[in-house]
Every structure is written in structure tokens, then in C-alpha cells.
Chains A and B, each alone.
Chain A
């Protein structure tokens, strides 16, 4: 495997100065909260089953506390006096080549930064945030798996993570606009591009124009039905931000800035993040911290906006169009890390006949296994699919025929799980479910 060799080669080339830089970045990521987290683990092991990796393979290396302890041992050795003086007794370890390899394997290879362990830790350690700080150190040392890093690089270079040209994007939108007009029977239906002063700027995961245009069309149908004053941007429209996964805050901030510049350029009031977990967490919660400033506008999930439409009576739906049982996947970055938990439920309860919850659900839901950049790292694919077995089992037990996932990354993973575990379900976004159930009294073009 070339990636394996390449990463090994990078590890072999590390100089003492690289370790120093990695440690400096790691220390720089710590605040009182993280320093406290690093002092607290009692190695009770009760977090083990909260991690889908451990549930799937039952290996020591998949226990959250094991991953945390690899980072904490370095912290003890390099950042505390007692760790230096009594390293063997206290489990303090040097940050050397072997440890860097362990970090890569544990923190990139066996963690999707889903945060489920954080909620289940006996003492309350936010483990995922510590592991993200460790990813930042690895990023500084050039140890991000190259396929993950290339997604970030692509975003920085082309403005979106798939290198879609402006012309291709505009042409896709124009084609979808025609499709929308046909679908709703209204030649006035629009997917506005660069409409200055529109209330809403809608942002998109590049997977939509590239592979799932019907998903984008569904969102447009919802906007159309709700008579929203909205637009997409011709540039700076990609809501994804894989800098969240590599841990490089400078690059992540630069990617986030693409969206903010679109908002400024178009003078919109609300930035709506399409159905994407990490995109929401990045734009809503992390971007202000990366950039060191508050957004001068509202950032909301499309789910929250759709919930508003329902509340305001702007959408009429016929739930009889969805007779089969429908279940909902809770993307970690949207729900556990993002706090957007109920709007999708409110919407689905109104839109489908039989909505069944997965058990567990909401903030306790299991990661699908595709988060944390896992989908982009080919070398960890087998582990990812194995860890996703926990989600597959949840889906199977729900008895649902349709799985709704308000996240395109999750959808990719769920589609793979669907094939691998022969689940026989269809997988949709919330907007697709809503659009399929929409009832138009008459053409609603403006």
C-alpha cells in the first residue's frame, strides 16, 4: 500500500525539531479545560463500549481511554515535573517515532472524533477534544494521511473539496433549475445564483452537484415551496471543511473564510448550512474560534430553517407518501457536537407516517463510522467499515426501510454499510423526504 509506505517514510524522516514543533503545537492547543482533561483519567475503562470501534473489534487499542492515554502519557512526560521524575510509575512516555506512529494509528485510524466517549466518561473528560489537539500536532509534523490532507489542499486551491470549476457548478445549478421547474410545474421556479441582498445564502456539499444532484434539487424545491428569498453563491459555496479533521486550524480557518466572504459579497443575512454534520459544526461553532471573531450574521442548519417553515405554515406535506417505516441517523457533528437535535424529528414526524427512533438516539447515537475524515483515509477503510457495523446493527434493529441522514458524509458511509451489511434500506436526506411529500396547491413561482 503506497500510502502506508509514504506515511512510514515520513515517520522515518522526522527530526528532533519536528517533535519539538509537534509538541509546541499540541501545547498551544491546550487551555485550562484540556489541561484538566489530561490530568483526570482514572483508567476505569468504562468508556470502552461507548466507542463504535471498540464495540466492533473489542481491541485494547480501540478503547477511548487507550487513545487518550497515549496522548496523556506524552503530556505527562513533556509537560509535567512528576511525569519527568517518575515516568514509569505514572505512565509517562516520550514523544518519539514509535509514539508518533501510535498516535497516527490511534487518533486517525481508530477515531472519528465523534465525542460519544466524552458523554460517557465517568469523570467527564471531553476525550474527542484532546484527540483533536493531538491531530493538530500530527498535522504540524506532516503526519496527516495524504488522502485526507489532499481534500483540504483541494479546498484551499479550488474553493471546494472536489475541484468543481465555477463553470461546472453554474451549469449544474442551471440544469437543476430546469429540472425544478419541470418537477414543480412552474417555469418561474428559480435557483438563484449570486442574488445580492437575498435573506438566505444556502451552502452545499460538493458531493451534491457531483454525485447527488437530486439532493440539491430537493433543497431547492423546499425553498421554492416556502417562497424563501434565497441564493447560492457562484464561488465560496462549499460547506465542507476537512480542516476540522486534520486539526490544522489555519487551513480550516482559511476554508471557513470562503463562506464568510460569500456572505459579505452578497450581503445575505442568514448563512444556511445544508445537510452536513461537520460542515455545520465547522461553520457554526469552530470558524469563529479559528478566525478569532464573531460572525456578524446568523449561521443555521437547513434543518432549523425547515422547522421554521413548518411552524410558520409555509410547507404543506402529505405524510401518506411515506408509508414505510423511516428512521433517523444523528450525525455526531450536528447533534452531539452541534446541538441540533430536535428540528429533524419535528420535521419527520410531520412528513412520514411511521417514524421510528434508532436506539440509542440523539446525543447518545452511534457514529456511522464515516466521521472525523475517515471516509477520506483509504488506509483505514477496513476498520471504518468494521466500526460501522454498530450503526448497521442499529439500523437493522429499527426495522426501518428508509434511513434519513442529514449529512452527506454520513450518507456515503451509510451507503457503503448498506452494501456491506446487506441492509436493504434506502438512504435519504431530510430535504429529500420533505420534497417528496410536498403538496403544491398551485404554482408557487414568484
Chain B
């Protein structure tokens, strides 16, 4: 029997997906730039690079020089993905056990720790705090609580209601605040990559690019 909270999660998911779709249409509604300059490189190769090697610390100084933060970001996002997968399983009535449960618990715990670390970093690094707006804290808090509660829910089914309620809140906030980057990360990276791919900057002639 599906509970009210489960219906709430599903409805929030529809809200999130619907509004993300609307945001995508709004952004693309600005139109495509007609390009007249002859391409020097292949935009598709630029895209392949940007979504592949170009994401690695070897390719990006900003990642190379901030490896703990970069790994925390990766861990955080893997945790969120695991959390979403876990919600989906719960909604179709699958309870995890054994190795499968461990397989979810590991990224969830890591994600919760990473998310907390990033939140603390944002709160206590003066420069990062100054760069932030309330949405940064709220988004980080909602996503971290989501992953933490997902982990807790794998241990105790009594936290079911709390976890589902938190999932609802997160999904409601996704398209409103900066978590919309779950969509725009892909479109932005695509646009940037086609731009630099056309110009022959991506992919670099040698990899890693500094060599």
C-alpha cells in the first residue's frame, strides 16, 4: 500500500523534473548562435574531451590544486546518486540487504561526510562564505541531510518517514535553487566544449595538456 509520503515523493519528483524541463526550455529559448566562422576543430571531439579526460585533475589545474575538495565533490555527488537510487528502490518496495546494502551504504556514508565537509568549508572559509548566498547553504544542507538520512534509513526502517519527507523537500528545492546544476552542468559543459572544440582548443594536442 503506497503511503502519503511516497505519493509526496513521487509528486515532488514530477515537480522537479517538470520544472527542470521548463528551465531547460527557458534557457534554450534564448536561441542558438548562428556561427559563420569556419571551424578549425571538431566540436564533437571537444565534447568527448570535456566529458571525459577533460574532467580529470590531470587536465584541470583547479582540480589538481584542490584535490581534497575535488574528491569531496566527487564523493558527495556519488552519495547523492546512491541516495536517489535508494529512494527509487524503496518506492518500488525493495529493501536492501547483504552486500547490496553495503554497496549503497559505502557511498551514502562517504557522501554524507563529504557533504558535511563541504558545508563546513563553506561556512568557515571567509572567502567562500562571502561568495555564497543563502541558497548555497540551503542546497548543501538539504542534499547532505538527504544523503545522511538515506544512510541512516539503511540501518533503521523507523527513519522511513523522516527520509521520505527530506527527499520531498530536496526534490522540491532542486529546480528552485542551485541544485538545478544537475541539469545545467550537462548543457553548460556541452556548450563550452563545442565552443572550444570548434576552435581547436579541445582536445589539447597532448595529454595531460601541460606536457
Judging by beta carbons under 8 Å apart, are B61 and A122 in contact? no
Judging by beta carbons under 8 Å apart, are B131 and A292 in contact? no
Judging by beta carbons under 8 Å apart, are A363 and B65 in contact? no
Check A34 for interface membership: any CB of B closer than 8 A.
yes
Residue numbers of A with Cβ under 8 A of B are 30-37, 39-50, 60, 63, 65-66, 69, 80, 82, 86, 88-91, 118-126, 129, 284-289, 291-295, 335-342, 359-364
Check B187 for interface membership: any CB of A closer than 8 A.
yes
Residue numbers of B with Cβ under 8 A of A are 23, 26-38, 40-41, 50, 60-63, 65-66, 69-70, 73, 125, 127-128, 130-136, 138, 176-178, 180-181, 184-185, 187-189, 191-193, 195-196, 199-201, 204-205, 209-210
Judging by beta carbons under 8 Å apart, are A43 and B131 in contact? yes
A-B contact pairs, 5 of them (CB 8 A): A45-B128, A119-B196, A289-B33, A292-B34, A293-B36
CB distance from A356 to the nearest CB of B (A): 14
Judging by beta carbons under 8 Å apart, are B27 and A91 in contact? no
Contact of A124 among B130, B134, B192 (CB under 8 A): B192
Judging by beta carbons under 8 Å apart, are A118 and B192 in contact? yes
Q: What number of A-B contacts does a CB cutoff of 8 Å give?
A: 179
Residue of B nearest to A92 (CB): B133
Judging by beta carbons under 8 Å apart, are B27 and A39 in contact? yes
Query: Known contacts A32-B191, A42-B181; is A119 also within 8 Å of B60 by CB?
Result: yes
Roughly how many angstroms separate A49 CA and B196 CA in the complex, as a whole number? 21
Judging by beta carbons under 8 Å apart, are B178 and A42 in contact? yes
Residue of A nearest to B133 (CB): A91
Residue of A nearest to B23 (CB): A39
Query: Known contacts A293-B36, A364-B210; is A124 also within 8 Å of B193 by CB?
Result: yes
Roughly how many angstroms separate A364 CA and B196 CA in the complex, as a whole number? 13
Task: Collect the chain A residues with CB atoms within 8 Å of residue B200's CB.
Answer: 339-341
Residue of A nearest to B125 (CB): A45
Judging by beta carbons under 8 Å apart, are B195 and A33 in contact? yes
Judging by beta carbons under 8 Å apart, are A31 and B65 in contact? no
Contact of B31 among A31, A124, A286 (CB under 8 A): A31
Roughly how many angstroms separate A42 CA and B118 CA in the complex, as a whole number? 12
Judging by beta carbons under 8 Å apart, are B199 and A364 in contact? no
Judging by beta carbons under 8 Å apart, are A35 and B210 in contact? no
Judging by beta carbons under 8 Å apart, are B201 and A336 in contact? yes
Judging by beta carbons under 8 Å apart, are B131 and A124 in contact? no
Task: Collect the chain A residues with CB atoms within 8 Å of residue B63's CB.
Answer: 46, 122
Residue of A nearest to B194 (CB): A33
Judging by beta carbons under 8 Å apart, are A34 and B135 in contact? no
Query: Known contacts A122-B73, A124-B189, A363-B209; is A45 also within 8 Å of B180 by CB?
Result: no
Central interface residue in B136, B180, B196, B200, by most chain A CB within 10 Å: B196
Judging by beta carbons under 8 Å apart, are B35 and A63 in contact? no
Task: Collect the chain A residues with CB atoms within 8 Å of residue B127's CB.
Answer: 45, 48, 60, 63
CB distance from B89 to the nearest CB of A (A): 28
Roughly how many angstroms separate A124 CA and B196 CA in the complex, as a whole number? 11
Roughly how many angstroms separate A89 CA and B134 CA in the complex, as a whole number? 5
Judging by beta carbons under 8 Å apart, are A46 and B70 in contact? yes
Residue of B nearest to A116 (CB): B61
Query: Known contacts A44-B69, A124-B50, A339-B201; is A89 also within 8 Å of B36 by CB?
Result: no
Judging by beta carbons under 8 Å apart, are A123 and B184 in contact? yes
Judging by beta carbons under 8 Å apart, are A284 and B37 in contact? yes
CB distance from A379 to the nearest CB of B (A): 25
Judging by beta carbons under 8 Å apart, are A33 and B33 in contact? yes
Judging by beta carbons under 8 Å apart, are B188 and A45 in contact? no
CB distance from A366 to the nearest CB of B (A): 10
Central interface residue in B73, B125, B188, B209, by most chain A CB within 10 Å: B188
Query: Known contacts A35-B30, A36-B191; is A360 also within 8 Å of B201 by CB?
Result: no
Roughly how many angstroms separate A341 CA and B201 CA in the complex, as a whole number? 8
Contact of A89 among B138, B181, B195 (CB under 8 A): B138
Task: Collect the chain B residues with CB atoms within 8 Å of residue A126's CB.
Answer: 191-192, 195
Judging by beta carbons under 8 Å apart, are B205 and A342 in contact? yes
Roughly how many angstroms separate A46 CA and B55 CA in the complex, as a whole number? 13
Task: Collect the chain A residues with CB atoms within 8 Å of residue B125's CB.
Answer: 45
Roughly how many angstroms separate A362 CA and B185 CA in the complex, as a whole number? 25
Residue of A nearest to B135 (CB): A90
Task: Collect the chain B residues with CB atoms within 8 Å of residue A363's CB.
Answer: 201, 204, 209
Judging by beta carbons under 8 Å apart, are B177 and A90 in contact? yes
Central interface residue in B41, B138, B210, by most chain A CB within 10 Å: B210
Judging by beta carbons under 8 Å apart, are A32 and B131 in contact? no
Residue of A nearest to B118 (CB): A44
